[in-house]
Structure 1
Amino acid sequence: MLIGHIEQIVRHPVKSLRGESVHTSKVMNYGLYGDRSHAYIDETKKGNFLTITQFPEMVQYSASFQGEEQYDSYPKVLVETPEGAIFNWDEQILLHEIARKSKRDVSTVEYSPSHVPIGPIAEEPLLIVTDASLKKLEDIWGNGVDSRRFRPNLILNLTDKSPFIEEEWFGKRIRIGHEVEIELVRYCKRCMIITVDPVTSERDSSIHKTVIKERNNHFGVYASVLKTGSIQVGDEVHLFS
């Protein structure tokens, strides 16, 4: 059954930095190619990842791959700072800036293009939201919603504009385009990260309170990868039992 098409594909080359919207990408076993494949480590917290939770201003730094997706090595990863300066993601001047602003000792970690472990990705390979659910959340919250608050990998433009209908598809397969198949597995339980404005990095707890009250703290759905391949914006999305 045709349920819609891919409206947006978003990957995050560096964990917790602003991602990049791309027209096409490979879907690997771990999710979108290179998603959260690079990360900053908070050495003051026993080597945990440095994330928006500790340093909200991370959302104002944009990360992007420069070049074609390769299986043996990543293209160059560039980071644009809030002031518009551009550095290689592991350049010392950038690391010193992040360390100074976050008041933490910062190091880096990079994973293989063939395998990014679940830890940096989150809890499942792909996070999906729909246009209908985003629109409904706007109505419930009473404000415009920037989808980047929720850090989805895929935004689906649905034929049936029923909000939260995706939550009825757990255990079902979805085919994207001609190659990729995924299975919707469970809700995404939300944390304080959605309170951080993706443009200004200012916090507004009211959106999280709304999601907790009206949606049992669920927004978006996780999916596992059944068949890898390439996808692109505009690809048809089909649902199977």
Structure 2
Amino acid sequence: MFAGEIKELWRYPVKGLRGESLRSTVVDFDGLAGDRLLGLFEPGSDKAVWGGSHPKMMGWEAAWPAQCGCADAVSGEPVLYEPGGAAWGGDESGLPERLAETIDAEKGVELRKVKRDYGRILVVFESSVRRLGERLGREVEASRFRPNVVVDADLEPYAEYGIEPGTAITLGGHEFTLQKPCERCVLPSWDPQGANVRDKELHKFIINELDNHFGIYLRISDPVTIKVGDPIAA
């Protein structure tokens, strides 16, 4: 059906914030190790504070501290970097107040674990990103779609959406299962660096021309390691 290779790996320790580039990572039933484990919530409630309503969140970056030189290690608390570059430990007492101040969260925020039943990884194809840019007449950053895996494959643009859910797709020789295409919210239309600028034309194109999908979700049960340069095939 297609063949290619992994070009980039990304994880996002805090949902809605920018993430970190990896060379390798562990993936299991819970998804990519260290990915989207934490989120921002309104204090005392389960209401999420997310990038669609607070796009300045993407001016912040989160990363897990390096452990023994291993890119996929996850332990302790992540480090958060505010737009000016100042670093905050994930458990620092002043962090919630600073976050709320810089992302215009008037009700404040709490940083805590996200509840979920299982994990998955989001895969985006370079050919589709390029074609999207060609149609819009400007470069479109893959980072807008917050992928875990960016692949270069001999697949026609947007052809990934025609692959049947349940299809086996191998990454690094490990068999993943295609769950479904990723239905998009408004988040990709906001500047991925937190500039608080929205690309409404991009959002309309994805809705009208791509049935509001971009990227595909894959799952696996047993722990495996994948790395940049690994093959992908289906």
Structure 1 residue 19: Cα displacement: 0.9
- Report the counterpart of residue 190 of structure 1 in structure 2: 184
Compute the TM-score of the two structures, normalised by the length of structure 2: 0.89
- Report the counterpart of residue 53 of structure 1 in structure 2: 52
Structure 1 residue 7: Cα displacement: 0.7
1:35 aligns with 2:29: no
Q: Distance in 1 between matches of 2:158 and 2:2?
A: 17
* Mapped contact 2:66–2:73 kept (Cα < 8 A): no
Equivalent AA in structure 1 for residue 81 of structure 2: E
Q: Distance in 2 between matches of 1:25 and 1:33?
A: 7
List runs of 5+ in structure 1 lacking aligned partners: none
Structure 1 residue 168: Cα displacement: 2.7
Q: Distance in 1 between matches of 2:12 and 2:207?
A: 26
Structure-to-structure mapping, 1:39-118, within 5 angstroms: 39-43=39-43, 46-68=45-67, 74-100=75-101, 101-110=104-113, 117-118=116-117
Q: Among 158, 161, 164, which residue is 1:167 paired with?
A: 161
Structure 1 pair 212/40, CA: closer, same or farther in 2 (3 Å)? same
* Mapped contact 1:26–1:228 kept (Cα < 8 A): yes
Q: Distance in 1 between matches of 2:167 and 2:197?
A: 38
Structure 1 residue 227: Cα displacement: 3.8
Structure 1 residue 226: Cα displacement: 4.1
Q: Among 219, 226, 230, which residue is 2:225 paired with?
A: 230
Structure 1 residue 181: Cα displacement: 2.2
- Report the counterpart of residue 157 of structure 1 in structure 2: 152
Equivalent AA in structure 2 for residue 186 of structure 1: K
Structure 1 pair 222/74, CA: closer, same or farther in 2 (3 Å)? same
Q: Among 109, 122, 128, which residue is 1:127 paired with?
A: 122
Equivalent AA in structure 2 for residue 194 of structure 1: P
Greater fraction of residues in strand: 1
Q: Distance in 2 between matches of 1:93 and 1:59?
A: 19
Structure 1 residue 86: Cα displacement: 0.6
- Report the counterpart of residue 8 of structure 1 in structure 2: 8
Equivalent AA in structure 2 for residue 26 of structure 1: V
* Mapped contact 1:9–1:153 kept (Cα < 8 A): yes
* Mapped contact 1:181–1:227 kept (Cα < 8 A): no
Q: Distance in 2 between matches of 1:90 and 1:51?
A: 20
SS at match of 1:39: strand
Q: Distance in 2 between matches of 1:153 and 1:215?
A: 20
Q: Distance in 2 between matches of 1:226 and 1:211?
A: 31
- Report the counterpart of residue 205 of structure 1 in structure 2: 200
Equivalent AA in structure 1 for residue 132 of structure 2: L
Structure 1 pair 238/72, CA: closer, same or farther in 2 (3 Å)? closer
Q: Distance in 1 between matches of 2:134 and 2:2?
A: 26
Structure 1 residue 206: Cα displacement: 1.1
Q: Distance in 1 between matches of 2:150 and 2:111?
A: 29
Q: Distance in 2 between matches of 1:213 and 1:17?
A: 27
Equivalent AA in structure 2 for residue 207 of structure 1: L
Q: Distance in 1 between matches of 2:162 and 2:2?
A: 15
List runs of 5+ in structure 2 lacking aligned partners: none
Equivalent AA in structure 2 for residue 39 of structure 1: G
- Report the counterpart of residue 144 of structure 1 in structure 2: 139
SS at match of 2:94: helix
Runs of 4+ in 1 over 4 A off after TM superposition: 69-73
Q: Percent identity?
A: 30
